[in-house]
Amino acid sequence: MPTNFAATRELMTGSAYRTKQTGSQVYVSMHGEPLLDFAVGCRAGGSVMTPDTRVIWLCCSKPTLLIALFQAFAEAGVHEDDPVASVIPEFADAGKSDVTFSHVLTHTVPYESAGTSWTDAAGERFRDEQEMMTSPWDVAIKMICEMPLFARPGEVVTYTPSTNWTLLAEALQRLTGRPHEETVRQQVLDPLGMDCTSFYVTETDLSSDECAPLWNLTSTEPEIDLMDTRPLVFGRWPGLACRGPARDMARPLECAAGWRGRELLAERWRDGLVSPRRFEIGDPFFNGAGIWWSLGLCADPVGFGLSLSSRAIGHTGERSSVVFSDLTTGITISFLSNGLVSRSADNARKRNLIRAVYTDLHLY
């Protein structure tokens, strides 16, 4: 399927993908074989964004942890429907003894004070996770374990950018007996060849010429986003803090699809990643529509604007990134920008890019 991706390259010359401060990357593969690795715009201070530039992934970090977690589950004989308290006993506090790993992975743990929820009675509920994200690790775990629920687990979608993933990383640590970032490096990043990616940022990383700061473009004047300022920039947030290029962000999805590093996941856990489990529960980011969700991934083609696909898995990063594998066509697309725009503008640039790629590949 030879193509020069003319429509994609032309689209990315527009202002939605590049400014005086920001730039974008796109990576495309078919069944894990690279087709395009392209960048436009600026990294910082006028320096060029390249396909090697390290950009924060935000919620697109989540698939990386899943592979390491499911390896640990397989080795320890943990089932997704086991209670979280079977690994983290104190999580049973405040009436959470019935919460399973499946509930956590499908975002159906209705925490009283964390996450964003949708219910017919209350509409959208916004909860503040900032205190947890700025607390020491053991304090954050204690806060999660002591937090009550406002509904029964499994009945309400409560999307948490950080809380559930902190909990899953703690489970990984207890199952392996070592820091979760060490396990992720040795068992996911290195085997998948994600050489330009780090799970968290360090002082050395931050000063590197290959690290792109995240700009908020919705302010009156562009400014570095709060998440990329000290001390937040050094936060230990397993669901948000990966930094690397778009091609590395694609690799956990290519692995989940079985096109790369197939030996890293047992088939029963790969099936858990690609098979929808959550149906007909209102999703807060789709105005209460029922969106398919697997064990940790969005599994609904609608979530990625794929009207011609029947099966897809992936994740989005708030106002900045998206990565998915289209299981119908074999296409993986990974998009990163270090410019935060409004949600509507971000949805438009992602959908337009996906259409351009599929047009170039004669699939749209």
Q: What six digits make up the tokens of 27?
A: 């990576």
pLDDT band with cut points at 50, 70 and 90 for residue 123: very low
* Residue, of 194 and 3, whose pLDDT is higher: 194
Tell me what pLDDT residue 2 has: 63
- Provide mean pLDDT across the span 224-247: 91
Alpha-carbon distance 200 to 242, whole Å? 6
pLDDT of residue 119: 65
If you average pLDDT over residues 251-270, what whole number do you get?
97
State residue 65's pLDDT score: 98
| Cα angle 67-241-213, degrees, rounded to a multiple of 5 | 140
The mean pLDDT of 216-239, rounded to a whole number, is 90
pLDDT in tens, 126-149: 566 888 888 999 999 999 999 999
- Quickly count: other Cβ atoms within 10 Å of residue 95's Cβ: 11
Residue 231 is predicted with a pLDDT of: 81
Asked if 287 and 304 count as a contact pair (C-beta separation under 8 A), the reply is: no
Amino acid 128: pLDDT: 67
pLDDT of residue 108: 95
* Confidence bin at 285 (pLDDT 50/70/90): confident
**Structural domains of the chain ordered from first start:** 6-58+179-360 (3.40.710.10), 67-176 (1.20.58)
